[in-house]
Structure 1
Amino acid sequence: MARVVLIDALNLIRRLYAVQERPYLPLAEDVADTTRAQIQSNTRQMLKQAIARLRQELQPSHGLMVFDGGGSQWRQQLCPCYKANRKPMPALLAEVLPELQQDTEQLGLRCFKQNEYEADDVIATIACKVRLHQHEAIIVSTDKGYLPLLNQGVQIYDAFGRNFASVASVKEKFGVAPEQLVSWWSLVGDSTNNIPGVAGIGPKSAEELMQLGNSLNQALQHPDCPKKLKQKIIDHKQDILLYTQVLALQTNLELGINLQDIRLSVQEPG
């Protein structure tokens, strides 16, 4: 059985960069060359160390570092508020991205970027196809948007906390099962993606509703579904369907990539 590790590149890199940038904040608009070089060099070194540690901890047979393509806008076109609050990439990090990709490739880990796709959808597609063929898929990311994939047997690993997400941890944090998360976020909102949810529906009432059925439709048909809450959801049906559409990960993209393309070379000892 193959063990395929899929790294959400910018999720990892932006957090590594933030640690290196922090001692120099607030950065002047015209950053001194020595400061620029130090931050970028430290980030490159930390990424190399992170990749080596992940290979040691997870022992993958296959791996891929997936970057956002930047050209995918269909979610924003459907829902203009989607990620409208997202801060742009720091200029110093954007400058050094080509070197970070080169470093990654030199370590034997292929980088993948397709302009028309978000990294989340690429990773979700590959992970689900890997599971379909009875192989092991591990996503390395702290992005909660991957958590619904737990229901499909995909593992999710936090490289900073050094732990795997679980169905139990999802239920403890959100009060619902992984497969219910997209519906739950569509109701209560998702600040990470700037999705407002439905006004007047809070986490507690949404959690109690989702306990009445595996899906939102099942919950609404349950005889114990509160009438006022049901009516509010019906009144906002189009918004909820829209939020669900933009929050759900795509898992059926045609990427033209196979396991042979992402097999890792054997690591040299030491």
Structure 2
Amino acid sequence: MNRLLIIDGMNLVRRLYAAQPDEHDLAGLAQRSISACRKLCLHHQPTHLAIVWDGDQESWRKQLYPDYKKGRKPMPQLLADYMPPLKQLLAAEGMASVNADSEADDVIATLASKICQHGGEAVIVSTDKGFSQLQFKGLQQWDHFSNAWLDIAAIEQKLGINRRQLLDFMALSGDSGNRIPGIPGIGPKSAAELLKSFRSLANIYNALDKLGSKQAEKLRNGYEMARLSYRLAKLRTDLDLHINLSDYRWQPQ
């Protein structure tokens, strides 16, 4: 059975870079990046490996909502300049890259979707909890820095929802990390309570007459913003990537 290890490249490298005491130690960063990828391969025993990187083009989400990810700290220029040689060093170790046009997230989601739909397995290596919305048979998410599988139960308990409600939850309350707005006046606690009572966003909007007048008015006025937020939060799994899986076969050096 094919098992594709999908590494969220910038999620991994930026955290490694932030943790090192000397920001100018780029050779050390390269060695730590290679070492991390080797460790991941040894642990997960993939048949294929793809490191997915963000691109420079403006994402469709930013075009749809200009404030998307507004204020997020940019990549340090030193690290940005080092990305091409770092990718070359990884490639020399047999670790092939997939370069997204803009955000890596949709490429990662599409890769995971395609391998799972063809009866394979996928392991996404990332600390980004947004991937927990993906629920394909054969898909798991690994946190390299915790050395553990993503704890879905802990996320559900923290938010007060189940993972099937994650997109509806973000449509209601937004996501501050990505500057997804949600509905003004509806916070995480209110969103969780609404979803506990009505199970889904659609059910909530079909039951506005059962809510208090103030909350119903917030929801009614925020309908378009909820639709926008849902769309921003939802990962695409239908990209045409123009890649051949055989080019990403993992062969330990």
User: Which interval holds the TM-score relative to the shorter structure?
Assistant: over 0.9
**1:96 paired residue number:** 82
Aligned alpha-carbon RMSD (Å): 1.9
**1:262 paired residue number:** 248
**2:128 paired residue number:** 143
Quote the Cα distance in structure 1 between the aligned partners of 2:208 and 2:56. Answer: 45
Q: Secondary structure at the match of 2:181?
A: coil
In structure 2, relative to structure 1, the CA distance for the partners of 1:224 and 1:176 (3 Å cut) is farther
Does the CA contact (< 8 Å) of 1:65 and 1:109 recur in 2? yes
Q: Secondary structure at the match of 1:152?
A: coil
Matched, 1:65 2:55: no
**1:171 paired residue number:** 156
Shift in Å at residue 10 of structure 1?
0.3
In structure 2, relative to structure 1, the CA distance for the partners of 1:114 and 1:204 (3 Å cut) is closer
Quote the Cα distance in structure 2 between the aligned partners of 1:189 and 1:223. Answer: 20
Q: Secondary structure at the match of 2:204?
A: helix
**1:30 paired residue number:** none
Matched, 1:77 2:63: yes
In structure 2, relative to structure 1, the CA distance for the partners of 1:194 and 1:49 (3 Å cut) is same
Matched, 1:14 2:7: no
- Map 1:113-192; keep pairs closer than 5 Å: 113-115=99-101, 117-149=102-134, 151-153=135-137, 154-192=139-177
Q: Secondary structure at the match of 2:242?
A: coil
TM-score under structure 1 length normalisation: 0.87
TM-score under structure 2 length normalisation: 0.92
Quote the Cα distance in structure 1 between the aligned partners of 2:163 and 2:145. Answer: 21
Matched, 1:53 2:39: yes
Matched, 1:195 2:151: no
In structure 2, relative to structure 1, the CA distance for the partners of 1:202 and 1:148 (3 Å cut) is same
In structure 2, relative to structure 1, the CA distance for the partners of 1:90 and 1:104 (3 Å cut) is same
Shift in Å at residue 222 of structure 1?
5.0
- Structure 1: where are the runs of 5+ without partners? 25-34
Quote the Cα distance in structure 2 between the aligned partners of 1:156 and 1:79. Answer: 28
- Range moving further from structure 2, 133-142 or 219-228: 219-228
Quote the Cα distance in structure 2 between the aligned partners of 1:225 and 1:210. Answer: 14
Q: Secondary structure at the match of 1:212?
A: helix
Does the CA contact (< 8 Å) of 2:208 and 2:216 recur in 1? no
* Residues 220-239 of structure 1: per-residue CA shift (max 9 Å, x gap): 33589524433321211111
In structure 2, relative to structure 1, the CA distance for the partners of 1:220 and 1:166 (3 Å cut) is farther
Shift in Å at residue 9 of structure 1?
0.4
- Structure 2: where are the runs of 5+ without partners? none
**2:4 paired residue number:** 4
Q: Secondary structure at the match of 2:6?
A: strand
Does the CA contact (< 8 Å) of 2:52 and 2:100 recur in 1? no
Shift in Å at residue 199 of structure 1?
2.4
Shift in Å at residue 55 of structure 1?
0.7
Amino acid at match of 1:255: L
Amino acid at match of 2:14: R
Does the CA contact (< 8 Å) of 1:44 and 1:100 recur in 2? yes
